[in-house]
């Protein structure tokens, strides 16, 4: 059962940039004729759309036993207390207060974040930093599911 599921999709303005990348590819082929222009538009737009969709497809999920953050998979038993960070605290945790050993799932277009302690003594990671549009809810769900287990 999934207790929490959040997709960190990119903002709509990034899709406008994808369109502009396609046009850029067409401009490159413009001097070579109409067929290279069309091919350039299609190829560049497809590559930009793939990159945008891939970057924005990352998810944070909490199940009964694990937290999934992107490709990371962490048992809830290895996690401790969590803190919801407001935009200013999140910025500080990304910059001057960051620990280089921390696992950070950053998305620059999402201002809030959750910081969750890692309590596993065999894991050198001190905490997880997870960009989230609902950091309070994420922290509460992790705490609630850990308490049930």
Q: What is the pLDDT of residues 72-124, one digit of tens each?
A: 999 999 999 999 999 999 999 999 999 999 999 999 899 999 999 999 999 99
CA dist 146 and 95 (Å) reads 29
Count Cα neighbours of 83 within 13 Å in the Cβ-side half-sphere. 11
CA neighbor of 4 nearest in space, from 72, 69, 81: 69
Q: Phi/psi of residue 39, each to 5°?
A: -60, -45
Mean pLDDT of the chain: 93
CA dist 81 and 76 (Å) reads 11
CA dist 122 and 70 (Å) reads 21
- Residue 26 makes CB contacts below 8 A (sequence gap 6+) with 37, 38, 40, 41, 44
pLDDT of residue 25: 86
For 29, 80, 83, 143, the CA distances from 71, given in Å and listed in that order, are 37, 20, 22, 21
pLDDT of residue 74: 94
pLDDT of residue 20: 93
The mean per-residue pLDDT over the stretch 42-59 comes to 94
For the stretch 22-34, pLDDT in tens is 899 888 888 899 9
Write down the pTM of the prediction: 0.85
Confidence of residue 1 (pLDDT cuts 50, 70, 90): low
């Amino acid at each position: 059962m999934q207790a929490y599921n959040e997709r960190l999709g990119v903002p709509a303005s990034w899709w406008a940039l994808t369109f502009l990348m396609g046009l850029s590819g067409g401009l490159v082929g413009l001097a070579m004729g109409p067929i290279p222009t069309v091919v350039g538009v299609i190829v560049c737009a497809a590559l930009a759309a793939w990159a945008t969709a891939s970057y924005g497809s990352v998810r944070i999920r909490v199940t009964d036993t694990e937290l999934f953050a992107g490709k990371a998979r962490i048992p809830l038993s290895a996690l401790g207390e969590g803190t919801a960070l407001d935009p200013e605290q999140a910025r500080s945790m990304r910059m001057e207060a960051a620990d280089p050993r921390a696992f950070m799932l950053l998305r620059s277009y999402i201002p809030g974040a959750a910081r969750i302690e890692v309590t596993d003594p065999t894991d050198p990671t001190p905490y997880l930093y997870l960009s989230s549009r609902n950091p309070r809810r994420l922290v509460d769900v992790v705490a609630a599911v850990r308490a049930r287990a």
